[in-house]
């Protein structure tokens, strides 16, 4: 899953990006509203973490302009906990609202919930035949046994499972699994799919030649 964090406090921005990458997300960052809006409009993110008080363009303006073009899930961050601010954010199109200072586990949980809702999969556990994906613990079981996956393998499997029945092109998978700082190889998606089939069985992920991959 690919996330965008728009935050002007350098330490908080770096800390959030580090924590999210540790969870296996591909993360892009922006330190002001103008750059954040440019990135949010130019890529298909699975969620955006958006601070309210930003230079150049504030979070309200970024949200309004983004909502005119996209439905990307947005979690707003602010140091202001007045109910009027929360109402303004939610009425303006934000999907969730978190007041600073916040606990990191809560932010991670809210991001996971946003991603599930954005994919119309509200349940935290996804089942595909004998494969069970726990999106909270970020673990995978096959026939009741835990299967160790790399962070990228898990991200690929989770994305296809959240979009079950949809054929996802390799280009779309690259866009959702790799951030701006990642170096990618042209066959990396194919390698991850090959490894997932070895670990979970050959029929979990189907290939649609000339189009992409799908979990039926």
DSSP string, the chain: -EEEEE-S-HHHHHHHHHHHHHTT-EEEEESSHHHHHHHHHHS--SEEEEESS-SSS-HHHHHHHHHTT----EEEEES---HHHHHHHHHTT-SEEEESS--HHHHHHHHHHHHHHHTT--SSEEEETTEEEETTTTEEEETTEE----HHHHHHHHHHHHTTT--B-HHHHHHHH--TT----TTHHHHHHHHHHHHH-TTSSEEETTTEEE--
pLDDT value at residue 171: 87
Question: Which stretches of the chain score pLDDT less than 70?
Answer: 81-82, 180-186
pLDDT value at residue 185: 60
pLDDT value at residue 176: 86
The pTM score is 0.81
């Amino acid at each position: 899953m690919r996330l965008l964090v728009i935050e002007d406090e350098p330490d908080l921005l770096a800390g959030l990006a580090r924590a999210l990458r540790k969870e296996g997300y591909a993360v892009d960052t922006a330190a002001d509203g103008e750059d954040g809006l440019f990135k949010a409009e130019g890529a298909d993110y699975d969620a955006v973490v958006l601070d309210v008080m930003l230079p150049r363009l504030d979070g309200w303006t970024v949200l309004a302009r983004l909502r005119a073009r996209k439905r990307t899930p947005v979690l707003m961050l602010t140091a202001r906990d007045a109910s009027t601010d929360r109402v303004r954010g939610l009425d303006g199109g934000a999907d969730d609202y978190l007041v600073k200072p916040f606990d990191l586990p809560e932010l991670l949980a809210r991001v996971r919930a946003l991603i599930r809702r954005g994919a119309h999969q509200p349940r935290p556990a996804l089942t595909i035949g004998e494969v069970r994906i726990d999106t909270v613990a970020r673990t995978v079981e096959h026939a009741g046994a835990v299967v160790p996956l790399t962070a990228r393998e898990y991200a690929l499997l989770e994305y296809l499972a959240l979009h079950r029945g949809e054929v996802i092109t390799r280009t779309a998978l690259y866009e959702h699994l790799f951030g701006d700082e990642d170096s990618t190889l042209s066959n990396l998606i194919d390698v991850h799919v090959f490894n997932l089939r070895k670990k979970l069985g050959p029929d979990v992920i189907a290939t649609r030649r000339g189009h992409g991959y799908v979990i039926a």
